[in-house]
Amino acid sequence: MPEPAKPEVDDVVAANSRGQRVVFPHRAEYFASMRALCADSFTMLVDLTAVDYLTYPSGPGSRVLPEGVVAERFEVVVNLLSIARRERVRVRVQVPTDDANIASLFDIYPGSEAMEREVYDMFGIVFIDHPDLTRILMPEDWQGFPLRKDYDQGSIPVQFSGDFAARRVPR
């Protein structure tokens, strides 16, 4: 299998994962790197999500990052597709806990709007210059971010309407 072509992204750490190119721009380079990837025919944003590594084990063999990439608690992961070249590229950006924000991709990939809102809603990562960064899955008055590893799960009592067993139709 031939090596995938390297996207034209200057000064960004890159690696290969099972034949797919993975780039690791620093948070400050993220928007410019994404603009360069879009100009380099990666015009389709397939997915945008995040990962919370708070409880992930540390040490040798745990979290694999290339040399020069400093691990942070959060990681924003973007998958792009070049239809013209029939290639994919994954972008992984480290986001620190104490300053959990990153540039919005809405101006480059308008389809990122709902995905960024979901990451904000579930992880609390703020997308700077997003046109409508409001909750999309949880109620507006919800406190906390449910996919953070330190989120207290708690319990919500289940409310049943009537006696379900009594209404069950015998077979």
pLDDT in tens, 39-74: 999 999 999 999 999 998 876 667 889 999 999 999
Average pLDDT score over the chain: 88
The letter for the amino acid at 33 is: S
Residue 41: inside a domain, yes or no?
Answer: yes
Is residue 167's pLDDT more than 80? Answer: no
pLDDT class for 12, splitting at 50, 70, 90? confident
Residue 98: inside a domain, yes or no?
Answer: yes
Is residue 101's pLDDT more than 80? Answer: yes
Residue 22: inside a domain, yes or no?
Answer: yes
The answer to pTM > 0.85 is no
Is residue 18's pLDDT more than 90? Answer: no
**70-98 burial by CB neighbour count: b if 16+ within 10 A, else e?**
eebbbbbebbbbbeeeebbbbbbbbbeee
105: helix, coil or strand?
coil
Residue 128: inside a domain, yes or no?
Answer: yes
Select the highest-mean-pLDDT range: 68-72, 104-108, 157-161: 104-108
Residue 163: inside a domain, yes or no?
Answer: yes
141: helix, coil or strand?
coil
pLDDT at residue 169 in the model = 61
pLDDT class for 28, splitting at 50, 70, 90? very high
- 19 contacts 47 by C-beta, under 8 angstroms: no
- For the chain, the domain total comes to 1
Residue 110: inside a domain, yes or no?
Answer: yes
pLDDT at residue 154 in the model = 74
CATH number of the domain encompassing residue 48? 3.30.460.80
pLDDT at residue 153 in the model = 79
* For range 165-169, the mean pLDDT: 59
pLDDT class for 136, splitting at 50, 70, 90? very high
Residue 152: inside a domain, yes or no?
Answer: yes
In this structure, is the dihedral angle defined by the CA atoms of residues 128, 132, 138 and 143, taken in order, positive or negative?
positive
pLDDT at residue 168 in the model = 60
Residue 3: inside a domain, yes or no?
Answer: no
* For range 93-118, the mean pLDDT: 97
Host domain of residue 146:
13-56+63-167
* For range 15-36, the mean pLDDT: 94
